[in-house]
Structure 1
Amino acid sequence: MDFLSQYVSDFQLTHLETLIDEWFLVFALAFLAFELIRYAVVKRLNWEMVGDTVTNFITLAFFIGITFLGMAAFYVGAYFYAAQFAVFNIPTTWASFVIALVLADLAYYWEHRILHRINFLWATHSVHHSSPFFNISVAYRHGPLDGFWPLFFHLPLVLLGFNPILILVVELLVQLYQTALHTEVIGKLWKPVEMIMNTPSHHRVHHGSNPKYLDKNYAGIFIIWDRMFGTFEEEEEEVVYGLVKPIDSINPFVAFFHGFTRLATDVWNMPGFMNKLGVFLGPPGWQPKNREDTPPAE
């Protein structure tokens, strides 16, 4: 416990965070190569999948440009500013690390769920769901504002009294765990693991556009949140990946901005200010109760 506190006091956790992230990317690229070879062996590899994979990493580059050049200082600064008003001063120990990780995972569950249920938030998150394939490169498919919204869900942990850098580290660990779930290589795991942990099987469901799979399995590390809050669905029928209304494009600009262009179009075409507000703040596919107020389908 003492050396963990020493890491924080010397800001070594920041370097640890960077090191973990960089090495995990190396692992992800190696695993992606394995996945693509496997797809080739079973004759499922095609140019669309290759192009989609390239698009995933181009959207990652766009995301990094926006996040690190435009938001990183604000994000970290907000944490350290909020730390001045913390209710408690929670020491950084192995126990507080585990507690922070569990709480960050719970915060991620609600962040993720809300991103799916409010249209202007879905506009950025839908980029991640727009691929019709499912391999580890899809984990790196990000929307323009994906790096902004987590701040508001994890900031309460800093206000509670956890070290800001510790919260940044556990946020990263939740994200990295999720990254490893994006694969078809791994089937269902031992039942007790499937009961408690989020697994590739559970996350495949989350990426499905099948009606029974929509808005299910939001978990980061622990699937128990979905079981507790009524959003769990077992993987049973074959998963159809992608959006209900596919983008049908591997153009990285289309993939990266389609959510906002669709939202702008839907708001523009919806008559009435309150209805426009409903489209903006409502769930994806929102329509007014009075169907006569809606524009004719194209």
Structure 2
Amino acid sequence: MKRVCLGATKLLMVITIMLIIVYGRGITAKAVNVTYEKEKVINLVNKKMTGYINAINVNMDEVDTHVANVKTSNKNLKAKCVSHRYKYSVNTNYEAIQIYATRKGTYYVTFDIVDGNGNCISTEQTRVIVESLKDSFKGYKSIKVGKKNILKKCLEDDYTAKFVDLNTAGKLKIKMKKGYLLKDIRVERWVKSESPRLSSGGNGYADLEYLHLNNGDVLKLSEVCEYHNGEVWDEIKAEKYGDFIFTYTDLIITYIDKRGIERENTITIRSKVK
């Protein structure tokens, strides 16, 4: 009789432990909506590293979740979680994994999503394709402003962009190679303002204008420099600016490559202020 009771007690303990484990797993495996780029293409700025702005942005719908255990598939790709932002009002969490590579190739970044107690909810992965800046422009047949093909002017070498000197506005016509699809054209340019733009202890009479263009529209260049009639001051000095010699216009082109991945290139046009 004692043996039967002892066996029943052991069985009850085993069942209890199993229930605790299952219940505990249920808590750990709490469903969290996670969105991020499953595939990302980055460019080499030079032969050693990529630009600092490359990052995998991870969005979670719970503020007490985090990115942890960030790893890469190869030593040539470096990755680190560098920023966190929480919005308690809408219960969301944003974190960024900064990445750069020392060689061209295809790599993978893996990371865990953990809860506030450090328990792993899920393991995620992003495929990272690293190429030279020149490679990212290979989808264009030509980028013309008027009769000038600026595609031939926007790279210093395989890794480095340079300013395109252009003083005359003209119709923008972009032709893509077979298998590449033009998606969007945006322009950021400086224009005169009637009211001062306040920033960092100073102001200037220039506004940054954002435009969307259709292929074939006229590309309008910046009218003035960023610091047009500007002033900067603090407790010990005051400075005043007229227009600089040059002003800059950013042409941002978005396209879909042969793999169906959305890509973006920025061409900075430098023009003299008249």
TM-score, length-normalised on structure 2?
Answer: 0.23
Greater fraction helix: 1
Higher normalized contact order (CA 8 Å, seq sep 6+, divided by chain length): 1
| Structure with more of its chain in strand, by fraction | 2
Larger Rg: 2
